[in-house]
Amino acid sequence: MKDIIIPWDDRDLGTPPRTGAPVTLTVDGFDVTVPEGTSVMRAAALAGIEVPKLCATDSLEAFGSCRLCVVEIEGRRGTPASCTTPVAPGMIVRTQSDRIRHLRRGVMELYISDHPLDCLTCAANGDCELQDMAGAVGLRDVRYDAAPQVANHFAPRDSSGEANPRWLPKDESNPYFTFDPAKCIVCSRCVRACEEVQGTFALTIAGRGFDSVVAAGEAGDNFLTSDCVSCGACVQACPTATLQENSVIELGVPQRSVITTCAYCGVGCNFKAELNGDQLVRMVPWKHGKANHGHSCVKGRFAYGYAQHQDRILSPMIRDSIDEPWREVGWDEALTFAARRLRGLQETHGRGSIGVITSSRCTNEEAYLVQKLARAVFGNNNTDTCARVCHSPTGYGLGQAFGTSAGTQDFDSVDHADVVMVIGANPTDAHPVFASRMKKRLREGAKLIVIDPRRIDLVKSPHVAAAQHLPLRPGTNVAVVTAMAHVIVTEGLANEAFIRERCDWDEFQHYAEFAADPRHSPEATAALTGVDPEALRAAARLYATGGNAAIYYGLGVTEHSQGSTTVMGIANLAMLTGNIGREGVGVNPLRGQNNVQGSCDMGSFPHELPGYRHVGLPEVRAVFEAAWGVQIDPEPGLRIPNMFDAALAGNFKGLYCQGEDILQSDPDTTHVAAALAAMDCVIVHDLFLNETANYAHVFLPGSTFLEKDGTFTNAERRINRVRKVMAPRNGFEDWEVTQMLANEMGAGWSYTHPAQIMDEIAATTPTFAGVDYDLIDRLGSVQWPCNEANPAGTPTMHVDGFVRGKGRFIVTEYIPTEERTGPRFPLLLTTGRILSQYNVGAQTRRTANTVWHDADLLEIHPHDAETRGINEGDWVKLASRAGATSLRATLTDRVSPGVVYTTFHHPDTQANVITTELSDWATNCPEYKVTAVQVSQSNGPTEWQQDYAARGERSRRIVTAAE
């Protein structure tokens, strides 16, 4: 195994970069030219001269508290701090002199006088800035010896045995890091990181003068009970061992690192995986990562322990029927068994009787191979991906309006937004690193509009408050979006010049006439949507006239029977106001999983080949037929819900499902379970015996993102490298497993590295034409389209014109979902995610993240709870026409009366027993966000839950090989 050595400059330049006119100054006799506003410290660092520092770091604004970075500037009095002093033309700076050396030693001496000198046994030994600076300033002696009688913060007791009132014990409440106040130098970097980088404001400096200490939350709080979200920014910023990863305390300071990409949400943060040998010690957000710029969240930063979890299955397993226990076998036997069964099913039930599900968690290369398996080896187009159940309406809606199925911006664009409109998304929980960027912009003064049935955290959080929150009734998105368009059109706020130049004028006229109809006014639709008409008008005016306005949306938009229509409505709003085609604006779907964008790009959908080109087009098929040497079926294949329906009808019999737990994640669990039970060969390729595996005949062990090479494409179309950090514990990378299965079925594939798969993608897919691993290594990452016209990729789309030519306005009539409340089911259930858990929880439930969320709870308004006699923490039964489950209730006014909310991270509560078979009209994306339910008192798990648990236990029995 080799390390990836890329000459990235990871030095800490002390203060953040600035953009401005060039300014030239002299530092220690060397000329250096930097942008106006740059600090003297950063200018010196750019000239290769590091000024000693403790309280400065280039992820945070300068603070000027440690006084270690003092310099001399000709013509100025005294010794200014280089971190807080901006450069000036012709400035002459000296970073070293006898006077400065003397001052720095004095400062250092004072710091060390209140610091325990246990360096050899300290967890930060070798990775401590205090230690480094003591060396840099030549500290040789400490005159202010911390004798027992001298006040200090690090000795629990003085020599007479009296307790030291200034000493505070370690705070080990957070499962991932330890706060040891004894080692703190009160540089405030952690406090500033929590404010500036993360935006949570959980930390503060309590006390004054010598009594100053870092404190989490309010008096009596610890890190866990405070507002801390465990993003790790403070740990990252700490120059000493005061805030230290527990893994480093346990395993030692890591000695090598590999740059890779997080496998959780669609933000796609770059991390440095830091190791000793092949022991992963910690994941540190990489400062040059273009999606995260050195920030992280609790999942990517800390929740990687699942990769080593004892539940991981490392040997292939098979069984003849799902009532039998699993039998561990070798790879050859498992693959032969799988291949024979699949071919046998095709012989008996037809070529179209089997299919695949590609994973939005696996790499592009892996998704590409799995869809290729269906199209080139199975000989059908029965391929779908879990994007079906999240963002397929984005694909359809944006494809229709703009001509391409992707977000229009990069994340950096939010720095230029004046108005941010968040619809049906909860970024602080589901896309936390981007949410921090967004909150930073909001603190700088950008205005916020939130359209969501729930009062999400973003509506009101420290130093952020929504200008408008429209708490709409679930299922009425289209009515709200169209009412906004009504206000824009009828109040003359539309950007006619933009529309005339960039959009189809005839279609605009139809649309304007439609939107202007009084039945779409906020007042007319209020009874339906529950939204205050004045608030809606104010929101529409703000969006249309507030400057650069950007829309960010999530699954609260797509997972509806009119999901695609809402996406079109959002595209209409952007075109109406000219908010597309430049920085700071745009339409931005926040993708749920790490590679949702990529799995869609890679041709996972049954109707289109890689690059969103319909399988019915002969010229497109010809490209792949030539590359693959096979005939491709010109007809679209089955989508995931169609596969289930066909299975129940008896004509879909076999499924290869990679890295996706359809039983837990798809709606109407009872229906999905029946469909899986009706199949004769279900192959689950995963890390764990997931819920779907209860119904599987073949289990192929998967590899984690730490164990393979490849690429993920994030929500901003950014193709990031995933690099092999350690050897796969199961023996093979996932693309190798797919290749072995394909070859067992006669494919004759011979890839030896994922780079070759990417080369094939580039050769067949115009938007990827310029992509290869060398380019990504060179640039760090690249946003598609990447081709001859855009060799370095495309941060902003539709700049001079829409991909389809003229932007298309589409009439968006509100059509209510069939899912209605009534006397039996009077409440509306909507579902979502929480920060600490990820999707079905297969990964995060196997980490210490469970301390934040160990069970799904039902959020219910106190009014609805009272009328049902439900108290905080009670077991309640949640029932819909599809099924019933039980879970504990929590009373909150985050949800409106009439609406209840839960997360879906735990299989034992299984929110999807409740959700129904209804789906988006265009794409069959399930309507997870609206289910009519009743909530009643309960004593504990329902009969279904008990049966399900028993079945799970039975299905997971394993007979080990060679006993």
Partner 1 sequence: MSDENLIRMANQIAAFFRTQPGGDASAKVAEHLRNFWAPGMRRQLQEIALKDGSGLDAIAVEAASGGLGLPRVTV
Q: Is 476 in the site for partner 1 (CB under 8 A)?
A: no
Binding mask 645-674 for partner 1 (x = CB under 8 A): xx-xx-x-----------------------
CB closer to partner 1, 223 vs 402: 402
- Sheet of 92-94: strand order equals 30-35, 22-27, 92-94, 72-73
Q: How far is the CB of 824 from partner 1 (least distance, A)?
A: 20
For the CB of residue 380, give the shortest distance to partner 1 in the complex, in Å. Answer: 9
Q: How far is the CB of 348 from partner 1 (least distance, A)?
A: 16
Q: How far apart are CA 834 and CA 95, in angstroms?
A: 48
CA distance readout (Å), 866 to 417, 454, 533: 43, 19, 29
235 is a site residue for partner 1 (CB under 8 A):
no
Question: Nearer Cβ to partner 1, position 346 or 413?
Answer: 346
Stretch that binds partner 1, among 146-154, 278-286, 806-814, 934-942 (CB under 8 A): 806-814
* In the complex, minimum distance from the CB of residue 816 to partner 1, in angstroms, rounded to a whole number: 10
Tokens of 619: 């010229």
- Residue 97 contacts by C-beta under 8 Å, 6 or more apart in sequence? 72
- In the list 247, 565, 739, 896, the residue contacting partner 1 (rule: CB under 8 A) is 565
In angstroms, give the least distance from the CB of 813 to partner 1: 4
Give the binding range for partner 1 (CB under 8 A) out of 241-249, 328-336, 479-487, 912-920.
912-920
**C-alpha span between 110 and 896 (Å, rounded):** 56
Would you say 112 or 575 has its CB closer to partner 1? 575
Q: Which of 501, 517, 818, 854 binds partner 1 (CB under 8 A)?
A: 818
| Binder of partner 1 out of 428, 909, 919, 945 (CB under 8 A) | 919
For 828-872, give the DSSP string. EEEEE--TT--TT-TTGGGSGGGGT-SS-EEEE-HHHHHHTT--T
Give every CB contact of residue 638 below 8 A, 6+ residues apart in sequence: 352, 355, 382, 384, 606, 646, 652
When asked if residue 813 is in the footprint of partner 1 (CB under 8 A), the reply is yes
Site string for partner 1, 884-903 (x = CB under 8 A): --------------------
Rounded distance between C-alpha atoms, residue 891 and residue 913, angstroms:
22
In angstroms, give the least distance from the CB of 507 to partner 1.
Answer: 8
The helix or strand, by DSSP H or E, that contains position 755, with its residue range, turns out to be: helix 754-764
Residue 614 lies near partner 1 (rule: CB under 8 A): yes
Minimum gap (Å) between residue 925 Cβ and partner 1: 12
Cβ partners under 8 Å of residue 569, min gap 6: 477, 478, 481, 482, 485, 812
Sheet with 279-285, strands from edge to edge, namely: 256-261, 270-276, 279-285
CB of 811 to partner 1, least distance (A): 6
Residues 6+ apart with CB under 8 A from 182: 116, 153, 154, 167, 168, 170
Residue type, 812: T
Residues 587-606 touching partner 1, rule: CB under 8 A, are 606
Based on the shown chain and the rule CB under 8 A, indicate whether residue 349 belongs to the binding site for partner 1.
Answer: no
End-to-end CA distance of the chain: 33
Nearest-angstrom CA–CA distance, 449 and 272: 35
Under rule CB under 8 A, residue 80 binds partner 1: no
Cα atoms in the Cβ-side hemisphere of radius 13 Å centred on 888 = 9
Contacting residue, 142, 674, 811, 848, with partner 1 by CB under 8 A: 811
Stretch that binds partner 1, among 228-236, 479-487, 643-651, 792-800 (CB under 8 A): 643-651
**Residues in 351-390 at the binding interface with partner 1, rule: CB under 8 A:** 352, 381-382
Contact 917, 846 (CB under 8 A): no
Q: Which stretch binds partner 1 (CB under 8 A): 201-209, 441-449, 549-557, 638-646?
A: 638-646
If the CB atoms of residues 236 and 812 are measured against partner 1, the closer one turns out to be 812
Region binding partner 1 by CB under 8 A among candidate stretches 193-201, 451-459, 644-652, 871-879? 644-652
| Residue 855: CB atoms within 10 Å | 12
Residue closer to partner 1, measured from CB, 512 or 891: 512
Q: Compare residues 633 and 734 and give the one whose CB is closer to partner 1.
A: 633
Q: Number of residues in contact with partner 1, rule: CB under 8 A? A: 34
Question: In 3-state terms, the chain is what percent helix, strand and coil (to 5)?
Answer: 35, 20, 50
Query: Which uninterrupted H or E stretch holds 244?
Result: strand 243-245
Are the C-beta atoms of 874 and 332 separated by less than 8 Å?
Answer: no
Cβ 815 to partner 1, closest distance in Å? Answer: 5
**Is the CB of 333 or the CB of 645 nearer to partner 1?**
645
Q: Which is nearer to partner 1, 674 or 755 (CB)?
A: 674
In the complex, what is the shortest distance from the CB of residue 510 to partner 1, in angstroms, rounded to a whole number?
A: 4
561 near partner 1 (CB under 8 A)? yes
Question: DSSP string covering 123-187, please?
Answer: TTTTS-HHHHHHHHTT----SS---TTS--SS-SB-TTS-B-TT----B--SSSEEE-GGG----
Residue 923 found at the interface with partner 1 (CB under 8 A)? yes
226 is a site residue for partner 1 (CB under 8 A): no
Identify residues 495-554 at the interface with partner 1 (CB under 8 A): 510, 514
Q: Please give the Cα distance from 374 to 385 (Å, whole number).
A: 12
Q: Which of 349, 607, 894, 956 forms a contact with partner 1 (CB under 8 A)?
A: 607
Nearest CB to partner 1, comparing residues 254 and 355: 355
CB 434 within 8 A of CB 417: no
To partner 1, the closest distance from the beta carbon of 918 in angstroms equals: 8
Nearer to partner 1, 676 or 762 (CB): 676
Stretch of residues binding partner 1 (CB under 8 A), selected from 44-52, 812-820, 848-856, 902-910: 812-820
Other CB atoms within 10 A of residue 196 CB? 18
CB of 632 to partner 1, least distance (A): 14
Minimal distance, residue 646 CB to partner 1, in Å:
5
Q: 417-456: which residues touch partner 1 (CB under 8 A)?
A: none
**CA-to-CA dists, residue 876 to 237, 688, 910, angstroms:** 44, 30, 14
Binder among 226, 236, 642, 713 for partner 1 (CB under 8 A): 642
Shortest gap between Cβ of 636 and partner 1 (angstroms)? 6
CB-wise, 525 or 942, nearer to partner 1? 525
Residue of 137, 922, 930, 933 interacting with partner 1 (CB under 8 A): 922
Q: Are 844 and 306 in contact (CB under 8 A)?
A: yes
Token pair of 288, please?
A: 């040059």
Q: Which residues of 780-813 are buried (b: 16+ CB within 10 A; e: fewer)?
A: bbbbbbbbeebeebbbbbbeeebbeebbbbbebe
CA distance 169 to 180: 7
Phi, psi for 628 (deg, rounded to 5): -100, -15
What is d(CA 210, CA 206) in angstroms, rounded to the nearest whole number?
Answer: 11
| Least distance from partner 1 to the Cβ atom of residue 912, Å | 18
Interacting residues with partner 1 (CB under 8 A): 352, 381-382, 510, 514, 561, 565, 606-607, 614, 616, 635-639, 642, 645-646, 648-649, 651, 810-811, 813, 815, 818, 917-919, 921-924
